[in-house]
Amino acid sequence: MSVKTMGFPGRYTQGPGALDEIGCLFEELQYHSPLLVTDVAVRDKVRPDTARQLSAIGATPQFIDFPGECTRPVIEELTASALGYRADSIVAFGGGKTIDAAKGTARALDLPIVVCPTTASSDAPTSRLIVLYDEAHRVVDVDYLNRNPAAILVDSELIANAPPRLFAAGIGDALSKRFEARQCQAANGRNSFGTMPSDTALLFTDTVYERLKQYAPEAYASVCRQQWTPAVEAVIETTVLNSGIGFESGGLSLAHALIRGMTAIPAMADMLHGELVAFGTLVEVLVEKQPETVISELLSLMEAVNLPMTLAEMGQIDSLDQIQLETMAEATLATGYSRNMNPPLREGTLVAAVLEADERGTQWRLGR
């Protein structure tokens, strides 16, 4: 019997108006000089109230705009700002890349981080994972916080008013977790803590998939109307909290490995993380030779929340040529996640599954 590790954020608060708790939270945690890294898209929505609440408890917040891409140079710039300000904590306001850049800053300075996601576009908020990109939007590396975020504040009313595409991307990111964690376990792979996944972690990932089947179509329709509903609340908890704990403690596999391969193709490099993962999930279930009922169920759910299911919808209008297919496969197989497959993944199997996924998605769109 091997030792197994799971990780969790220090605390998790979710609901309409959850950001109103930030003053009380910082007073309790005794953070007095936070640097708040803010996505410019939500700056005017969150800064005034946040500044007022933090000032009311005697804190002196300093705001800085996120430049738009989570690269090492950006993290170095943010780190220099935090040092100059003598920050005692880092706060992230925004989506996945804003959060990762703030995490990178917290890691560099060994400071606690509080994450306030303004979209539910990925399960980045709860985890230690930091995904790094280059200026061409390609994934180049992964770093880790020394510890999970100290706190997560998820204002579900704010998220319900964010663009529906971002909400769908969060669903796409979460869709994979059941399949990836199961493959990680089957291949004797390791989670982000370097241990085998626990049974509890797999329960988290199973719950994620079942709750998405139950609530995601209704929740997505509500977000398209910019309307908060109990289904929206359920999906946010699923895609942010449950999926985050599930992937970090359960492990990742092909669906996330394929991100490296797809973003190596320029036409697909600008797709959202969760959109890439959703298509990667379709590829993975085909590699696994899942029953037709599972494949159809997945395609139906992807269609219900408007996730891409063909290469053309991923930006690759022309058919991939042999060189592009080899480039995609090589970049995918170079990742550690790709080794969490049983039986081991081969280039020919991967290429065939990518092409089959594209064909399956095309035929599904045509109603066949």
The reply, when asked if residue 127 is annotated as ligand binding, is yes
The reply, when asked if residue 65 is annotated as ligand binding, is no
The reply, when asked if residue 273 is annotated as ligand binding, is yes
Q: At what angle do helices 199-224 and 177-186 cross, to 10 degrees?
A: 160
CB 132 within 8 A of CB 142: yes
CB 90 within 8 A of CB 113: yes
The reply, when asked if residue 133 is annotated as ligand binding, is yes
Gap between the Cα atoms of 77 and 72, Å rounded:
9
The reply, when asked if residue 100 is annotated as ligand binding, is yes
> Could you tell me whether strands 129-133 and 139-144 are parallel, antiparallel, or unpaired per DSSP bridges?
antiparallel
Question: At CA 37, angle to CA 14 and CA 72, rounded to 5?
Answer: 120
The reply, when asked if residue 12 is annotated as ligand binding, is no
The reply, when asked if residue 99 is annotated as ligand binding, is yes
Assign residue 279 a region (left: φ > 0; alpha: ψ between -120 and 50; beta: otherwise).
alpha
The reply, when asked if residue 98 is annotated as ligand binding, is yes
Q: How far is CA 14 from its chain centroid?
A: 17
The reply, when asked if residue 318 is annotated as ligand binding, is no
Phi then psi dihedrals of residue 333, to 5 deg: -70, -15
The reply, when asked if residue 338 is annotated as ligand binding, is no
The reply, when asked if residue 256 is annotated as ligand binding, is yes
The reply, when asked if residue 295 is annotated as ligand binding, is no
Nearest residue to 86 via CA among 48, 31, 128, 127: 31
Gap between the Cα atoms of 94 and 345, Å rounded:
35
The reply, when asked if residue 118 is annotated as ligand binding, is yes
Specify the 3-state DSSP secondary structure of 13.
strand
Amino acid at 4: K
Phi then psi dihedrals of residue 366, to 5 deg: -80, -5
Specify the 3-state DSSP secondary structure of 341.
coil
Q: Could you write out the DSSP letters of every residue in 170-215?
A: HHHHHHTHHHHHHHHHHTT---TTSSPPPHHHHHHHHHHHHHHHHH
> How many H-runs (helices) and E-runs (strands) does the chain carry?
15, 8
Gap between the Cα atoms of 100 and 130, Å rounded:
5
Nearest residue to 253 via CA among 172, 349, 179: 179
Give the residue ranges of the annotated binding site for glycerol: 123, 173, 256, 273
Q: Which residues are annotated as a binding site for NAD(+)?
A: 96-100, 118-121, 127, 129, 133
Residue numbers in the known binding site are 96-100, 118-121, 123, 127, 129, 133, 173, 256, 273
